[in-house]
């Protein structure tokens, strides 16, 4: 029996992707594990592998196709012994997927189920809609979350393989329900509405036709815009700023780098940056103030037992935030080398989803670009982000007399639902103490 090749979901939040190129052509033999095509998301380029054997009978989505919805049929494989030409003439089939992307860790029930279940086995995962008698196809985890939350699965549209309702569909519905306006009798006065954006035609009418060039948004820019709107509209931001003295840190950094062993080529084994100290200090501060190392959900606060720190990295066309996992337990040299690797692969879009998704907090450092101070927008599901400005020499008062010190301004943005002002101040004080007494990070 022929098999459809579906546009895979490379991450839990992926809705569309670009089919960069096919690595097989029509008529080619396909073996399990063969790379069929390259798919580009907003953050990475990944390979799609075959899980069935046969002949690539028909390519339905060509090279370079943009914004292909997840689970759309992109090609058809004829099984061993079938006539590929006959299969190609029939086109896409209603069932059977021949390629699914690996689901990124950290593993949980939904991911294990999707990775290990044969494709597809919808009857096992289905349940009946008591009102219409129609079968509802949903994963066990999705059904359990819906049952615990009192959510009617019949009202949801699935985004999993073949329209199956999976965990992210249920969570999205619960989030939408939690943020939806109450009925008039419960909500009181009507809140002010957000003014809609002007249409493209209206915006372009403000400028002479020959005075600009249209550059279409790529997938990354669209995703960044969508995430920024989501964050700014759904997260109540609260800001706290503090100045940190860097003189002791800069002296320690110079001593550490001077003592770095050389490899066989004579290059140092590591070169610690100020940003590496900042990542380590922020991670330790979150461990020292555990109530601030949290993630907000509509039902509960997730209190983390390690500090996974996202670090904003500029890449062509946007930015990406790779995660340094358990940064509090890593040495400065380990953080330094890991960040160099993550940043290099991020700039060529070769990071795996598990390397940039999640995290409990983030650091955004524009100091190297000369920015003195700024406020950053929180990246969900994180509850805080530390915006780091440039280090500069300033006049301070020391022992009742003017003195010169190297000062760095930082601004902490917090999700006020999870981290209130006093708790945020405690976190920022812990960070400042570690930065100004950096030897504590080496213990």
136 has which bridge partners? 127
Task: Among 101-115, 310-324, 360-374, name the one with the lowest average pLDDT.
Answer: 101-115
- What's the pLDDT tens digit per position in 210-238? 999 999 887 778 888 888 888 988 999 99
pLDDT score for 123: 29
- What's the pLDDT tens digit per position in 109-159? 444 444 443 333 332 334 445 444 456 777 767 777 787 677 888 888 888
Task: Among 172-176, 178-182, 254-258, name the one with the lowest average pLDDT.
Answer: 178-182
- What's the pLDDT tens digit per position in 315-361? 888 889 999 999 999 999 999 999 999 999 999 888 888 899 899 99
Q: Are 356 and 339 in contact (CB under 8 A)?
A: no
Mean pLDDT of 39-57: 81
Which distant-in-sequence residues (6+ apart) come within 8 Å of 112 by Cβ?
A: none
Mean pLDDT of 279-305: 96
pLDDT score for 349: 86
* Residue bearing the bigger pLDDT, 35 or 408: 408
Catalytic residues: 416
The long-range contacts involving 111-116, CB below 8 angstroms and separated by at least 24 positions, are 113/139, 113/140, 113/141, 114/139, 114/160, 114/161, 114/166
* Residue bearing the bigger pLDDT, 170 or 37: 37
Q: In Å, what is the CA distance from 149 to each residue of 135, 144, 145, 313, 360?
A: 20, 9, 6, 38, 25
pLDDT score for 370: 93
- Please tell me the distance from the alpha carbon of residue 424 to that of residue 242, in angstroms, as a whole number: 11
Domains in the chain, please, with CATH? 1-102 (2.40.50.100), 104-178 (4.10.320.10), 222-442 (3.30.559.10)
- Which token pair is 159? 């985004």
pLDDT score for 155: 82
Alpha helices in 289-441 (DSSP H): 332-347, 421-436
What secondary structure letter does DSSP report for 165?
Answer: B
Q: Are 50 and 33 in contact (CB under 8 A)?
A: yes
pTM value is: 0.64
Phi, psi of 335 (to 5 degrees): -60, -45
Q: In Å, what is the CA distance from 405 to each residue of 35, 245, 253, 394, 413?
A: 56, 7, 16, 6, 26
Where do the DSSP E strands lie in 199-358?
Answer: 237-245, 294-296, 301-303, 309-311, 313-315, 318-320, 323-324
Task: Among 391-395, 397-401, 414-418, name the one with the lowest average pLDDT.
Answer: 397-401
The yes-or-no verdict on residue 364 having pLDDT over 90 is: yes
pLDDT score for 274: 97
The yes-or-no verdict on residue 73 having pLDDT over 80 is: yes
Confidence label for 103 from pLDDT (cuts 50, 70 and 90): very low
pLDDT score for 93: 60
pLDDT score for 286: 98
């Amino acid at each position: 029996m022929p098999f459809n090749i579906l546009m895979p979901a490379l991450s839990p939040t992926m809705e569309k992707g670009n089919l960069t190129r096919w690595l097989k052509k029509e008529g080619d033999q396909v073996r399990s594990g063969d790379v069929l095509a390259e798919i580009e998301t907003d953050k990475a380029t990944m390979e799609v592998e075959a899980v069935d054997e046969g002949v690539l009978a028909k390519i339905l989505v060509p090279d370079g196709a943009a914004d292909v919805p997840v689970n759309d049929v992109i090609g058809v494989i004829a099984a061993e012994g079938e006539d590929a030409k006959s299969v190609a003439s029939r086109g896409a089939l209603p069932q059977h997927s021949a390629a699914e992307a690996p689901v990124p860790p950290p593993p949980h029930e939904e991911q294990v189920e999707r990775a290990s279940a044969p494709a597809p086995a919808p009857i096992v995962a289905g349940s009946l809609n008591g009102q219409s008698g129609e079968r509802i196809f949903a994963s066990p985890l999705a059904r359990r979350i819906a049952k615990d939350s009192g959510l009617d699965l019949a009202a949801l549209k699935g985004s999993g393989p073949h329209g199956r309702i999976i965990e992210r569909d249920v969570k999205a519905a619960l989030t939408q329900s939690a943020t939806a306006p109450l009925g008039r009798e419960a909500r009181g006065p009507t809140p002010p509405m957000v003014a809609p954006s002007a249409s493209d035609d209206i915006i372009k009418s403000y400028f002479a036709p020959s005075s600009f060039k249209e550059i279409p948004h790529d997938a990354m820019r669209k995703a960044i815009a969508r995430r920024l709107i989501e964050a700014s509209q759904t997260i109540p931001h609260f800001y706290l700023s503090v100045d940190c003295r860097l003189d002791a840190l800069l002296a320690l950094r110079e001593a550490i780098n001077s003592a770095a062993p050389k490899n066989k080529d004579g290059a140092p084994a590591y070169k610690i940056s100020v940003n590496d100290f900042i990542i380590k200090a922020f991670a330790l501060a979150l461990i020292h103030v555990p109530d601030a190392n949290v993630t907000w959900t509509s039902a509960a606060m997730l209190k983390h037992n390690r500090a996974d720190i996202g670090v904003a990295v500029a890449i062509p066309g946007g930015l990406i935030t790779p995660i340094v996992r358990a940064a509090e337990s890593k040495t400065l040299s380990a953080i330094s080398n890991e960040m160099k690797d993550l940043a290099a692969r991020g700039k060529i879009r070769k990071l795996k989803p598990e390397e940039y998704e999640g995290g409990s907090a983030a650091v955004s450092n524009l100091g190297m670009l000369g920015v003195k101070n700024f406020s950053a927008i929180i990246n969900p599901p994180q509850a805080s982000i530390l915006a780091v400005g440039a280090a500069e020499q300033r006049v301070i008062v020391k022992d009742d007399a003017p003195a010169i010190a190297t000062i760095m301004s930082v601004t902490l943005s917090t999700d006020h639902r999870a981290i209130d002002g006093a708790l945020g101040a405690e976190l920022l004080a812990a960070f400042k103490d570690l930065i100004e007494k950096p030897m504590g990070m080496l213990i």
